Structure formats: structure tokens, C-alpha cells
Amino acid sequence: MPTAAESIAEGKRARVERDLDAARAYYADAAKIFRKEENRLAYAHTIRHIADMFLDEAKHDEAKPLYEEALEIYRSNLDTKLLDLANTVRPYAQLNEVIGNLEAARKHWQEAHNLYASLRLDVGVEECGKHIAALQ
């Protein structure tokens, strides 16, 4: 059985090749390993990538619970890196915007904006600011 790192490497390769079904399967294998190992942050990071792929394909119903689970894990863990949290809040804001949940979208774009600002990541601040302005 491949390791989680090997599965993620294969998932990245498949994702670059736009074989998202295969990529998700590899990432899901890695997520199972991380869950078994009780490595919650690695699990959250992995399912966030799966959600991103679903979002890329406009499979919103599949993406939403994965983002929510990842956010729950990140918010409850003191070892969470702010960049990981920001990089999960951002696509969750995007998802909410696309499905028409505009109040949630505004809230999450603002949160992502604040996180990116605290990290001094201007490109993230700019992107979030544009979405916040468009939703006013």
C-alpha cells in the first residue's frame, strides 16, 4: 500500500494532467491514511484539496461538506497555520458566492482578507478585497 505522501504525489500528477477523478481518488487514499494516523491537520489539508477539485468542476454539493469539515478541524486546532486556514476560507467564500449564499460569502471573504493581511500576502488581500467590493 502506498504511503500518504506517495498518494498525494500521484494525486498532484493526476491533477496537473486534469484527471480529477484519479486525483481525488489518490487524495482520498491519503486522507484515509491521515485519518487512521489521527493526523488531523494533514487530513484537513488533504480534504481541502479534494474540495478544491470539486469546486473546479462546479460540484458544489460535494465540495461544501469537505470545506466545512476542514474548517472545523483548522479552527479547533491550536497548531493550525494561518495560511492553511486562509487557503481554506478563501475557496469556501468562493463556493458560497457561486451558490448565491452572499451573506456567508461576504463573511468568509472578509475573514480570508484579514488572514491574508496578517500574513502580508498582498495578492490574497487584493483578491478578497475585489470580492468584498463586488458583494457590497
Contact 45, 79 (CB under 8 A): no
Q: Left if phi > 0, otherwise alpha if psi is -120 to 50, otherwise beta: which for 3?
A: beta
What's the confidence (pLDDT) of residue 55?
Answer: 98
What's the confidence (pLDDT) of residue 136?
Answer: 87
**Nearest to 95, CA basis, from 109, 85, 82, 81:** 109
pLDDT-derived band at 133 (thresholds 50, 70, 90) equals very high
Query: Could you tell me the three cell numbers for 6?
Result: 506517495
Query: Could you tell me the three cell numbers for 25?
Result: 481518488
- Give the tens place of pLDDT for each residue, 79-126: 999 999 999 999 999 999 999 999 999 999 999 999 999 999 999 999
- Give the tens place of pLDDT for each residue, 19-65: 999 999 999 999 999 999 999 999 999 999 999 999 999 999 999 99
Residue-by-residue DSSP string for 2-57? --HHHHHHHHHHHHHTT-HHHHHHHHHHHHHHHHHTT-HHHHHHHHHHHHHHHHHT
What's the confidence (pLDDT) of residue 89?
Answer: 98
What's the confidence (pLDDT) of residue 3?
Answer: 96
57 phi, psi to nearest 5 deg: -100, 10
What's the confidence (pLDDT) of residue 1?
Answer: 80
Q: Give this prediction's pTM.
A: 0.95
57 contact partners, CB below 8 Å, separation of at least 6: 20
60-75 and 82-98 helices, crossing angle to 10° = 150
